[in-house]
Structure 1
């Protein structure tokens, strides 16, 4: 059996091709192919940089702010060149240049300058959009979390400013006049029951707040019968759990807690009705988010924050406070908690981050104070019993701040200092 080395002669003989002619042809093929190609017969390709000609990248002009300055410096250097250099350049230049060529060069230079100015303005515009709001050093509460990527200290203030601006889209009015079959007392009973559902299923507090918001916004747009009020609240809690929870509740959970008063088809139909009524925009800012932010800005303890949460959760049942913005309500609850704990009322850092002064908070603080001091119904005890537990520092049993002390903080001009 012939070796591999000797097979070339056999194949050439079988094809009646002289060996010398075959070697000559192989040399020509090896010359024609690219050195980097491992295969024979591959046509020679034009070299190009990666990802240049695949799209319209060759049409994109990347501008740099320092480019125009460099060109100006080069022009100044040319102007300050020695007379000998100028004379040499004049000698090298052709004297047969026409006026048309000069005008075209001037036009090209003007176009380049106009493009550079437009690019520089565009870059400046982008940089201004990317600049975040500066926070004074004395009001900087996020620098301590600079190394924590989960706290995103660079965008914390911008996020809450955005949430506060978004509240304008979800301002509620007194909608009970549009509801012929329900009233504020029925709504309070429903919210009290939703608090119990949140506690039994150990849901997030954000889920409870969002469920109440969804219920109010749906009732503000759609008149319902009193028999469907619990269905609306249950479906709102179902939607809120899908929005906030890691492991949301199912329809079967609500079928059980409603004692089979409604069926699955009714839940699914109500879920679609709520989403369509709210145009699928259910990311509503709630007071619980702002409470945590304001408590961090004030640097208060967990007991003070829990007391403010207790006031805020009680306010969910009061229909008079439905019309208040969540950020304003959270600030008023925290102010009342600070005064109850005998802490400084409203420091400048809270005024800076919340955007509210004491004069703006005073009416809401008085409403919350009267609501806590004089409960309207003895049947609505779920919130009070919840915050009477030791897990919540038994804040429901704490005595409220004296009314005179409260008024001195809200309106200090009414209580002038007595000089002895």
Structure 2
């Protein structure tokens, strides 16, 4: 290689030394230094800036003080931690308390609540008995298509909320039911039934176009907000809170008896006015009473995780109890048959619908637990 070629080859470091850097000149002249992509990043740790407000704490609001005091009292009481040692990621044990606190705030929102007496106020052609027959039939439909229980609960929620504001002709009540179940199935199921399936289950009483039109009306009324906490949402957690002192052979019986009583509540129009969390808590209360009538069914753990005292559940418990012992709508048998027969598909139901329950609940059971 010639000397000329060697002389013309200049490294970048030598060039910086021989030629003043444009960036350095700009800095000297007071101009803003242009940012070089990834050029000014360093691996050196950055020392945190001193916080002038460090050590100062914002005073708690009165509600926060009360909440903190309640939590401290509950921690010091004899309450079982149902989230300790749980390794199921779907239960989210680290965030379960916050999640359910948020769900409890959602369930009281007016837009997610049906009117407790919409039959008397709004409906002119639909009665409470018609509603009960529709719900009983929808339980059979859910069993026929093997739908999740969450789908059934969400369906009834849509129906009650729609009927709370929209007068409906009795001839369209079944149409409202199948269209609501179609929406709930699309929201909850992996492979929901088709529109034609719901037309078929009504013996083609309604056409495909009618079902789709009613589906559109319901969605517009809901403003496409299909998610909603239901009885089943809270029942899962309350059952876990109520299992701490249940004898191990009765674990499954307690779980499915609670589910059976919760589904019975769907038929009872008087339960529409209660919050889903109250109905779930009342179902657990009555299930524990059925399994062990001689012991107070409520515990410190249940009071902590449900947030309800026994006296707050009394009305709802009595309504479900009347359904359980057959004093009301005894002719509607879909839920009873579902939990009574020892089917191959549902051997886990343990025939809980056949279990005997005392005809009266002691008044003392609705007093505060000691």
Give the TM-score normalised by the residue count of structure 2. Answer: 0.78
Pair 311,20 (structure 1): closer, same or farther in 2 beyond 3 Å: closer
Name the residue aligned to 2:299.
347
What are the residue-to-residue correspondences of 1:30-49 with 2, within 5 Å?
30-32=10-12, 48=36
- Tell me the secondary structure at the aligned position of residue 267 of structure 2: coil
Name which one, 1 or 2, has greater alpha-carbon Rg.
1
C-alpha distance in structure 2 between counterparts of 1:275 and 1:63, whole Å = 54
1:360 aligned residue (300, 308, 312): 312
Pair 250,119 (structure 1): closer, same or farther in 2 beyond 3 Å: farther
1:117 aligned residue (52, 58, 79): 52
C-alpha distance in structure 1 between counterparts of 2:253 and 2:14, whole Å = 77
- Tell me the secondary structure at the aligned position of residue 387 of structure 1: helix
The alpha carbon displacement at 1:151 in A equals 2.3
Q: In the alignment, does 2:170 pair up with 1:209?
A: no
C-alpha distance in structure 2 between counterparts of 1:194 and 1:383, whole Å = 10
Would you say the 8 A contact 1:212–1:316 is kept in 2?
yes
The alpha carbon displacement at 1:373 in A equals 2.2
Q: In the alignment, does 2:235 pair up with 1:291?
A: yes
**Segments of 4+ moved more than 4 angstroms:** 32-35, 43-49, 118-125, 132-135
Residue by residue over 1:373-394, the C-alpha shift from the partner in whole angstroms, topping out at 9 and shown as x without a partner, is: 2343343111111111222111
Would you say the 8 A contact 1:63–1:119 is kept in 2?
no
1:136 aligned residue (49, 64, 75): 75
Residue by residue over 1:325-357, the C-alpha shift from the partner in whole angstroms, topping out at 9 and shown as x without a partner, is: 010011111111111100541100110111100
- Tell me the secondary structure at the aligned position of residue 261 of structure 1: coil
The alpha carbon displacement at 1:265 in A equals 1.7
Unaligned runs of 5+ residues in structure 1 are: 1-7, 9-18, 36-42, 54-61, 69-115, 414-420
- Tell me the secondary structure at the aligned position of residue 117 of structure 1: coil
Unaligned runs of 5+ residues in structure 2 are: 16-20, 24-33
Name the residue aligned to 2:131.
187
C-alpha distance in structure 2 between counterparts of 1:197 and 1:63, whole Å = 64
Q: In the alignment, does 2:363 pair up with 1:407?
A: yes
Name the residue aligned to 2:208.
264
C-alpha distance in structure 2 between counterparts of 1:51 and 1:260, whole Å = 71
- Tell me the secondary structure at the aligned position of residue 214 of structure 1: helix
Name the residue aligned to 2:26.
none
What are the residue-to-residue correspondences of 1:87-166 with 2, within 5 Å?
116-117=51-52, 136=75, 138-145=79-86, 147-166=87-106
Q: In the alignment, does 2:255 pair up with 1:255?
A: no
Q: In the alignment, does 2:127 pair up with 1:171?
A: no
Name the residue aligned to 1:109.
none
Give the TM-score normalised by the residue count of structure 1. Answer: 0.69
Residue by residue over 1:4-31, the C-alpha shift from the partner in whole angstroms, topping out at 9 and shown as x without a partner, is: xxxx9xxxxxxxxxx664x25xx33433
Would you say the 8 A contact 2:182–2:193 is kept in 1?
yes
Name the residue aligned to 2:258.
308
Name the residue aligned to 2:288.
338
More helix by share: 1
What are the residue-to-residue correspondences of 1:39-78 with 2, within 5 Å?
48=36, 50=38, 64=48, 67-68=49-50
Would you say the 8 A contact 2:231–2:279 is kept in 1?
yes
C-alpha distance in structure 1 between counterparts of 2:318 and 2:253, whole Å = 22
Name the residue aligned to 1:79.
none
Would you say the 8 A contact 1:139–1:352 is kept in 2?
no
- Tell me the secondary structure at the aligned position of residue 249 of structure 1: coil
Q: In the alignment, does 2:222 pair up with 1:242?
A: no
Would you say the 8 A contact 2:259–2:283 is kept in 1?
yes
Residue by residue over 1:37-86, the C-alpha shift from the partner in whole angstroms, topping out at 9 and shown as x without a partner, is: xxxxxx99999572869xxxxxxxx995xx53xxxxxxxxxxxxxxxxxx
Would you say the 8 A contact 1:33–1:44 is kept in 2?
no
C-alpha distance in structure 2 between counterparts of 1:363 and 1:51, whole Å = 70
C-alpha distance in structure 2 between counterparts of 1:149 and 1:286, whole Å = 21
The alpha carbon displacement at 1:199 in A equals 0.8
2:331 aligned residue (379, 387, 396): 379
C-alpha distance in structure 1 between counterparts of 2:366 and 2:208, whole Å = 51
The alpha carbon displacement at 1:243 in A equals 1.3
